[in-house]
A and B are shown apart, each in its own frame.
Chain A
């Protein structure tokens, strides 16, 4: 693809939305990781991180998803009390910017992974009080990741995940993952 390495803002069709998307996610992560350097107040950090996570969740779900890749998902309640989860896939006529798409899917998938690693770290260090915060983060980011994957049933996300894995890992990992993915998704 011509835009294989296009991770630059200048090629994006919605730089502001992209900026906010990355901004909220990074802010939540950095506040969690470095918060204790600036203040020893657990409550303050907890509140700030929770609010940032909530803002990020809302932003990703309601703004970023629809602006960058034209996908939406939501939950409705039917009159008899059932929840209905609705996943809307993209309009085929819509032109989706390659940079936007790449950025979106990469960051969408890597965020739960990073928080998952932090959760592991918190468990190993026996910091259970921080673990509650990290679990919230994992749940929120994983929800968005899964929901948008579900919206995008027609392959765009998988193509990017394929190329990401192929590029970022070498040797054994690459062979293993590449073989697995091509088998699962039929090449």
Chain B
């Protein structure tokens, strides 16, 4: 789906076009990106001018102000001329608090995954916007906790190893989901996988204190199951092809399983 071959519009300077993998590659995503909700929410039609969400514009926007182009990896680029809206000069505090609240909302969703019900609108809304603060913080914590309980001369190796592993594995799992027909965007998927890392952190901290592997094991199994449940439930709307769902979820299981295993053996 998102890999349709579409042509690039001739008036776009393609050397400056970021593709879907531009700000995020292997090593790290301390990227928070987005979470500045735009004054306008686009729909499937390129020239839609409806605005929705909490940041609606005060005046209707003429279509000529928006140019939509498509790149070959299925990302769209939109160029807009600023045309009003009230978030351009808002106080910094508001910008900050909006993002802080969004992070808090997502962490809560991981901690208390609601089981189905009319969660579609809610999870749809949460899934639609993404930010990478949560994944960054949790990844740092996890790496730190695991490196503390590692032997002294391996501390920095374990730290950078876990850090790199988390991001690379998240990227790989995301690509897997997309290739299996997932209709979720690259960053959304990384966001979900990253936030679902949260339950593993107490596991890693626990491993610092408790040295006995037999005690660590069942606890980490429970935590892995929690992570898995939270991420699978949120990813369910990913629209993977029928019969391929297990194929898409298996790497997720591997990902959390491996991190949980690290907590056990560290």
Contacts and interface: CB of A to CB of B under 8 A. Distances in A.
Contact of A83 (B16, B31, B99, B185): B185
A66 B35 CA distance: 14
A80 interface: yes
B49 to A, nearest CB: 14
A9 interface: no
Given A77-B187, A81-B185, A83-B185, A43 B32 contact: no
B125 to A, nearest CB: 11
Interface of B: 1-2, 13, 16-18, 20, 22-25, 27-28, 30-36, 38, 41-44, 74-83, 88-89, 92, 95, 99, 127-130, 133, 136, 140, 144, 147, 155-157, 159-160, 163-164, 182-188, 239
Interface string A29-53: 0000000000000110011001101
A139 B81 contact: no
Contacts of B155: 42-43
Chain A interface helix/strand/loop/mixed: helix
Contacts of B82: 70, 72, 88-91, 94
Contact of A81 (B18, B25, B33, B182): B182
B36 A82 contact: no
Contact of A54 (B25, B32, B159): B32
A63 B127 CA distance: 24
Chain B interface helix/strand/loop/mixed: loop
Interface of A: 17, 42-43, 46-47, 50-51, 53-54, 57-58, 61-63, 66-67, 70, 72, 74-91, 94, 129, 132, 135-136, 139-140, 143, 146-147, 149-150, 153
B62 to A, nearest CB: 14
A83 B79 CA distance: 14
B182 A61 contact: no
Given A78-B44, A87-B77, A139 B88 contact: no
Contacts of A135: 27
Most chain B CB within a 10 A radius of its CB, from A53, A67, A70, A72: A72
